[in-house]
Amino acid sequence: MTTTTPRVAIVTGATGGIGRAVAERLAADGMAVVVHYAGNEARAKEVVDTLTAAGGTGTAIRGDVADEAEMSALFEQTGQLYGGVDVVVNTAGIMLLGPVAEYDLGDFDRMHRTNVRGTFVVSQLAARTLRPGGALVNFSTSVTRLQQPGYAAYAATKGAVEAMTLILARELRGRDVTVNAVAPGPTATPLFLEGKPQQVIDQIAGLAPMERLGTPADIAEAVAFLAGPGRWINGQVLFANGGIA
């Protein structure tokens, strides 16, 4: 009788709405999932409990995505626990909005540190670590195509993510590792819904031809495809937005 070793996934920002849905979906696909979190240990443990209650395998590990020492330790601990890394999904990110003319440069630097440097640090470790057949999935946003006022600084960080993702895919020639980005449109996460009147939510939902917001499960479905069967998709940005852009 032969046994198969589960594939191993690291999901950064796995306590957020999309990150949690990704962690749950990859665990349902049979992967052992490292639930990365930055500060909310209780929420990370709750995610792990959800994974294990559904018959999956998960471990919560803390780290600052922009700190190379902390993330190196996370990758090393993952290897010690599970023997290696097959999938890395970078959902960790922050969004601070405002018009260019009045934008606070401190907010810009803070967002750049998490969204750009953090993605670069984790991508670098993934490039060094992922086993053959592996996949790296970074996160962009459909806002890069929508040109919405107030989103310039955020879109700029995600444009940088797209650039590094597409180039890294070519740098990993011969490794049998895919590198792609998912670019969600408006998605019904607690962060997105908070503070928005229902009228505004309905208006945004109506922009998509499918006349609804995306759900975290919709985005997780796209990630699961890129992390699993989508082996011929490489060096691409997959827009998961229901046709909004």
Backbone angles phi, psi at 29, to 5 degrees: -80, 0
Look up tokens 């559904």; give the residue: 54
Rounded-to-integer distance, Cα 169 and Cα 127, Å:
9
pLDDT score at 191: 76
- Ranges in the chain, pLDDT < 70: 1-4
pLDDT score at 99: 97
Residue 154 bears catalytic tag:
yes
pLDDT score at 147: 86
Q: In this structure, what DSSP letter does residue 172 have?
A: T
Q: Does domain 8-187+216-238 have CATH number 3.90.700.10?
A: no
Question: For the chain, first and last CA: distance in Å?
Answer: 50
pLDDT score at 193: 83
pLDDT score at 4: 64
CA distances from 164 to 124, 176, 236 (A): 10, 18, 11
Look up tokens 């999938």; give the residue: 87
In the chain, domain spans: 8-187+216-238
Of 37, 82, 151, 154, catalytic:
154
User: What digits encode the pLDDT tens for the residues 149-200?
Assistant: 999 999 999 999 999 999 999 999 999 999 999 999 999 888 788 878 899 8
The three-state (H, E, C) secondary structure of 70-93, written as one string: HHHHHHHHHHHHHCCCCEEEECCC
pLDDT score at 34: 98
If residue 239 lies in a helix (H) or strand (E), which one and from where to where?
strand 237-240
The pTM of the full predicted model, rounded to 2 decimals, is 0.95
